[in-house]
Structure 1
Amino acid sequence: MPRFEAQKSPMAPYHIRQYQDSDYKSVVDVFTKGAEEYIPATFRHVLLLPRTLLLLIGVPLTLVLVSDSWLLAVVGIFFLLLLLRFLAGQPWKEYVAKCLQTDMADITKSYLNARGACFWVAESRGQVVGIVGALPVKDPPLGRTQGQFLHLSVSSQHRGQGIAKALVRTVLQFAWDQGYSDVVLETSALQQGAVTLYLGMGFQKTGQYFRSMFWRLVDICFIQLNYSFPSA
């Protein structure tokens, strides 16, 4: 039988435990900051798109030709950059808001009181520094029982300690114990560190798609990954 527990010394600077109601504020903080960290990366990605570069050149030139004012062109670029920065941040903020209104509105109800689900935190010196959850997939493929891997996040000050890997192993062990045949998850191509982590731990890429028109316009796809357990 596979065993997935993290192999760490008793002196490891963290430990993983099941979520408690008193953790809620800290969990929301780790989750929100983790998601919003990708706003600057999204903005940089958008700036480097050929269509964006064309826009950044075309708008000021048009303003100069129409108004004969370089000052207006500079102001135009400034406001265009502000607009692009706003647009880059909106999907991440909407994602956070949606999660906090659905499965993360009441983590105990959604995860701890639900069959085949759980939510864990990584704690270091009494502080929640990492989170992850697992829920059953409602309509899995015929003959499969799948768990969905959700909300992996580690605070920026505590990365590089193996916490993310330990949280992934915790979910895999739970899924195995629950009798799931697979664990599935989605992450954006922008989150390359996460993709590398999952692939390195045995997940396989099964597909990719654009979650909305915005993501298609900015050419950022979402990657579907699957971890299949060996047959008993």
Structure 2
Amino acid sequence: MNPVWICPTGPVVMALVIRRYRPSDKDTVLTLFGTCTREHISPCFFNAMKSFYHFSVIMALLIAGYHLGSVFAAVLLPAAWTGLVYFSCYTLYDGYVRLKLNSDMADIVGSFLSRPDDCFWVAEVEGKGQVVGMVAVVAKQSGKERYGELFRMIIAPEFRRAGLGSRLTETVLAFSKERGFSKVLLETSSTQQPAVALYKKLGFRLFDNDFFYFSNQTKYYLMQHCVCLCPHSCTLNHMKQ
């Protein structure tokens, strides 16, 4: 039986259910995925603009414009650089959404539900059929080690900070333990600090800097949670998708 629990959303209390994805969920899931992923564009931009690197460049351009004796140049050059930084953040997340909508998210059943050790769940408001969250896990193998990788953790804005992220993550961990995986891996970024804090609270630990986008000063991290009974068999090896 699907677990039903109460999720406070402001003054309203709703019952939510976490269940396997159905093909009828596709339109809502894709819209939620695209909208929530693109929400990271603005935080990415503001974080980048607070960095010493971009601050220094803008100040240098401002001074250069001043020495050229042109107020127009003093305004235009920093503004142009700021626009380039925003464009970098926009293309990072919008490009990611477009890539996924044309790859694994175009066929969710085939990508996440065609093998017994993969799964894709949605969280919906009970009785209304309103999908408000999702998460997926994909089985991976590195040598003799089998592990799961968590993907597509998405929660609608009005249902955040109400425990849904914890429930979805715990669903992945329980599934992975049942399948005999040694661990669960995930990738997140410096833009998503609330998510990083949630994963740490649930026992994930940061073990590697995956890569760094210099233009928008975004770091991507790998995190893992051991779910096996033998911790020594839980290695830090990671096979990229």
Tell me the TM-score range normalised by the shorter chain: 0.7 to 0.9
More strand by share: 2
Are 1:55 and 2:53 matched, yes or no? no
Residues 210 and 216, structure 1, Cα contact 8 Å, conserved in 2: no
> Equivalents in 2 of 1:53, 1:15: separation in Å?
46
* SS of equivalent residue, structure 1 residue 106: helix
Indicate the residue corresponding to 1:111 in structure 2: 112
Q: Which amino acid aligns with 1:29?
A: T
Residues 41 and 190, structure 1, Cα contact 8 Å, conserved in 2: yes
More displaced 10-residue stretch of structure 1: 55-64 or 112-121:
55-64
Residues 48 and 216, structure 2, Cα contact 8 Å, conserved in 1: yes
* Structure 2 spans left out of the alignment, 5+ residues: 8-12, 231-241
Indicate the residue corresponding to 2:238 in structure 1: none
Q: Which amino acid aligns with 1:72?
A: A
> Equivalents in 2 of 1:193, 1:227: separation in Å?
17
* Deviation per residue, 1:39-77 (Å, 9 max, x gap): 1111111111222112212213222322x2213322333
> Equivalents in 2 of 1:191, 1:178: separation in Å?
29
Indicate the residue corresponding to 2:191 in structure 1: 190
> Equivalents in 1 of 2:220, 2:84: separation in Å?
24
Indicate the residue corresponding to 2:220 in structure 1: 222
Residues 19 and 119, structure 1, Cα contact 8 Å, conserved in 2: yes
* SS of equivalent residue, structure 1 residue 13: strand
More displaced 10-residue stretch of structure 1: 75-84 or 196-205:
75-84
Are 1:132 and 2:135 matched, yes or no? yes
Structure 1 residue 6: Cα displacement: 6.9
> Equivalents in 1 of 2:73, 2:89: separation in Å?
24
Structure 1 residue 12: Cα displacement: 4.8
> Equivalents in 1 of 2:27, 2:183: separation in Å?
31
Q: Which amino acid aligns with 1:129?
A: V
Indicate the residue corresponding to 1:200 in structure 2: 201
> Equivalents in 1 of 2:207, 2:79: separation in Å?
41
Indicate the residue corresponding to 2:163 in structure 1: 162
* Deviation per residue, 1:191-221 (Å, 9 max, x gap): 111111111111122212315xxx1444432
Indicate the residue corresponding to 1:120 in structure 2: 121
* Deviation per residue, 1:9-43 (Å, 9 max, x gap): 59753111111111111111211122111111111
> Equivalents in 1 of 2:195, 2:39: separation in Å?
13
Structure 1 residue 80: Cα displacement: 2.6
Indicate the residue corresponding to 2:233 in structure 1: none
Residues 16 and 124, structure 2, Cα contact 8 Å, conserved in 1: yes
Identical columns (%): 27
Judged with a 3 Å threshold, the aligned counterparts in structure 2 of structure 1 residues 204 and 75 are, in CA distance, closer, same or farther, namely closer
> Equivalents in 2 of 1:96, 1:174: separation in Å?
26
> Equivalents in 1 of 2:3, 2:208: separation in Å?
28
Indicate the residue corresponding to 1:81 in structure 2: 82
Q: How many residues are matched?
A: 222
Structure 1 residue 122: Cα displacement: 0.6
Indicate the residue corresponding to 1:23 in structure 2: 25
TM-score, normalised to structure 2's length? 0.84
> Equivalents in 1 of 2:135, 2:191: separation in Å?
19
- Tell me: higher relative CO, structure 1 or 2? Use CA pairs within 8 A at least 6 residues apart: 1
Q: Structure 1 runs of 4+ off > 3 angstroms?
A: 5-12, 216-219
Residues 185 and 225, structure 1, Cα contact 8 Å, conserved in 2: yes
